[in-house]
């Protein structure tokens, strides 16, 4: 490496999503690796966006976000979870969930603090922890249903633990936390100084009549939690990069202290557009039905393949167990499926710090039905 560069993340390679997308493009494959919808957002949201643009909402928004959007979020959350957040002092608009996660970790994790991370874990958590001098402490979710072993969590929590990161519905596995999980967490943290960072960006994509168990539903957890969500997944607008952060006033004050130097202001016309569309509850409450139809179709089609399928509980990702097909490593098999069969996925081992390989690949089904049909037609040839 050049003497001009001393990397803080020298062991971090190119994102697996970038790698698989590049490989997919090179082989003209169907890209089910990266998690973005293939379809456009609703015409109504586009109308709200155009109206905001033409009305002149094109300059910096206030640092915490426009009040109309924060008020709309507060109303939505209170109606759904029974928790009243103060839009002035407890809700902040972020430039997407990744920025919000990084800022929250920067605000509260200090050098040598320990942060509990459940694996497989979304790939932005650990680099952000290490950038602050923190130490990730890994707890494996129980394969194959990816449940939390709370006894294992209890063994790693100590006086150095500063934060526990939750993610439900869970990326990459599609698992969903239960009410019992949150009650066990609440009991575990009682009397401690440990914070909870709850990544809930897929909160509107759950299946089979499951209820999203936000930490905001549990008073003991809400008072120590930073809750992060995003409009990108809910409204098929991942490119707009608008998310939000909810936390008690004391935590929000510290979050904003960092936020002002990381993002400061967030896409102004998009904030106005989301504020307008949130008054239509169906715009987000019906999303689970839309994606359940996608999941069910994908699972039904996969019956003609040799993969083992345990239907996802939430998100728009489906894991496929390929152990009946080959003993290859998941990275080798994922690469071969792209090159020889023309379908891109993500190997799950990359979400473990020790590259644990359970012979599982992740596929995104936020695609048109015809795309899913073509993809499975190819997978059936394996």
For 78, 79, 92, 215, 248, the CA distances from 82, given in Å and listed in that order, are 4, 6, 19, 11, 15
What confidence category does residue 10 fall into, taking pLDDT thresholds of 50, 70 and 90?
A: confident
Write down the pTM of the prediction: 0.97
Q: Which phi and psi (to 5°) does residue 26 adopt? A: -65, -30
Whether the pLDDT of residue 1 is over 80: the answer is no
**Mean pLDDT value of segment 30-41:** 93
CB 123 within 8 A of CB 351: yes
> Cα dihedral sign for 352, 358, 361, 365?
negative
- Which candidate, 371, 42, 18, 33, places its Cα nearest to that of 236? 42
The domain at 45-283 falls in which architecture?
3-Layer(aba) Sandwich (3.40)
Q: 92-107: b or e for each residue (b if 16 or more CB lie within 10 Å)?
A: bbbbbbbbbbbbbbbb
Q: What 8-state DSSP symbol labels residue 61?
A: P
What confidence category does residue 337 fall into, taking pLDDT thresholds of 50, 70 and 90?
A: very high
What confidence category does residue 69 fall into, taking pLDDT thresholds of 50, 70 and 90?
A: very high
Share of the chain above pLDDT 70, in %: 99
H/E stretch holding 115:
strand 114-119
Whether the pLDDT of residue 15 is over 90: the answer is no
Rounded Cα–Cα distance for residues 130 and 317 (Å): 27
Beta bridge partners of 196: 164, 225
CB 234 within 8 A of CB 204: yes
3-state secondary structure of 250: helix
Can you state the angle between helices 43-54 and 268-277, rounded to 10 degrees? 130
What confidence category does residue 2 fall into, taking pLDDT thresholds of 50, 70 and 90?
A: low
**Mean pLDDT value of segment 274-283:** 96
C-alpha dihedral (147, 104, 217, 210), degrees to nearest 10: -40
CA 278 to chain CA mean position, Å:
20
**Mean pLDDT value of segment 50-61:** 98
Q: How many residues does this entry show for the chain?
A: 382
Q: What is the mean pLDDT of the chain?
A: 96
CATH of span 16-41+285-379:
3.90.1150.10
Per-residue pLDDT at 12: 79
Question: Which residue would you say has higher pLDDT here, 8 or 53?
Answer: 53
**Mean pLDDT value of segment 167-187:** 98
Residue 214: half-sphere exposure toward Cβ, Cα within 13 Å: 25
What confidence category does residue 220 fall into, taking pLDDT thresholds of 50, 70 and 90?
A: very high
Per-residue pLDDT at 185: 98
Query: Domain extents for the chain?
Result: 16-41+285-379, 45-283
Whether the pLDDT of residue 130 is over 60: the answer is yes
CB 312 within 8 A of CB 288: no
> Which string of DSSP letters, residue by residue, matches 288-320?
HHHHHHHHHHHHHHHTTSS-EE---SBSSEEEE
Whether the pLDDT of residue 211 is over 60: the answer is yes
Whether the pLDDT of residue 74 is over 80: the answer is yes
Region class of 348: left (phi > 0), else alpha (psi between -120 and 50), else beta: alpha
């Amino acid at each position: 490496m050049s003497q001009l560069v001393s990397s803080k993340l020298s062991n971090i390679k190119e994102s697996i999503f970038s790698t698989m997308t590049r490989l997919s493009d090179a082989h003209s494959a169907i890209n089910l690796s990266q998690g973005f919808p293939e379809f456009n957002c609703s015409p109504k949201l586009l109308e709200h966006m155009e109206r905001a643009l033409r009305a002149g909402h094109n300059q910096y928004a206030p640092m915490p976000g426009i009040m109309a959007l924060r008020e709309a979020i507060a109303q939505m959350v209170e109606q759904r979870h029974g928790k009243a957040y103060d839009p002035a002092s407890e809700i902040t608009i972020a430039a997407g969930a990744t920025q919000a996660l990084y800022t929250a970790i920067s605000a509260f994790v200090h050098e040598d603090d320990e942060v509990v991370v459940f694996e497989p874990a979304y790939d932005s958590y650990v680099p952000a922890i290490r950038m602050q001098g923190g130490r990730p402490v890994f707890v494996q979710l129980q394969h194959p249903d990816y449940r939390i072993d709370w006894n294992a969590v209890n063994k790693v929590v100590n006086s150095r633990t500063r934060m526990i990161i939750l993610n439900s519905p869970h990326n990459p596995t599609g698992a969903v936390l239960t009410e019992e999980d949150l009650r066990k967490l609440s009991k575990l943290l009682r009397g401690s100084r440990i914070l909870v960072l709850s990544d809930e960006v897929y909160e509107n994509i759950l299946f089979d009549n499951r209820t999203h168990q936000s930490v905001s539903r549990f008073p003991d957890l809400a008072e120590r939690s930073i809750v992060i969500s995003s409009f990108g997944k809910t409204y098929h607008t991942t490119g707009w990069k608008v998310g939000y952060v909810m936390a008690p006033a004391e935590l929000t004050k510290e979050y904003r202290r960092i936020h002002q130097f990381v993002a400061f202001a967030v896409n102004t016309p998009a904030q106005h557009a989301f504020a307008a569309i949130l008054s239509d509850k169906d715009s987000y409450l019906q999303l689970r039905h839309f994606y359940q139809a996608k999941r069910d179709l994908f699972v039904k089609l996969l019956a003609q393949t040799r993969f083992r399928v345990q239907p996802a509980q939430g998100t728009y990702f489906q894991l496929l167990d390929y152990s009946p097909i080959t003993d290859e490593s998941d990275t080798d098999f994922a690469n071969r499926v792209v090159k020889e069969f023309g379908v891109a996925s993500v190997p799950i081992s990359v979400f473990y710090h020790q590259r644990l390989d359970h012979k599982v690949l992740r596929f995104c089904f936020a695609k048109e039905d015809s795309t899913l049909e073509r993809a499975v037609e190819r997978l059936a040839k394996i």
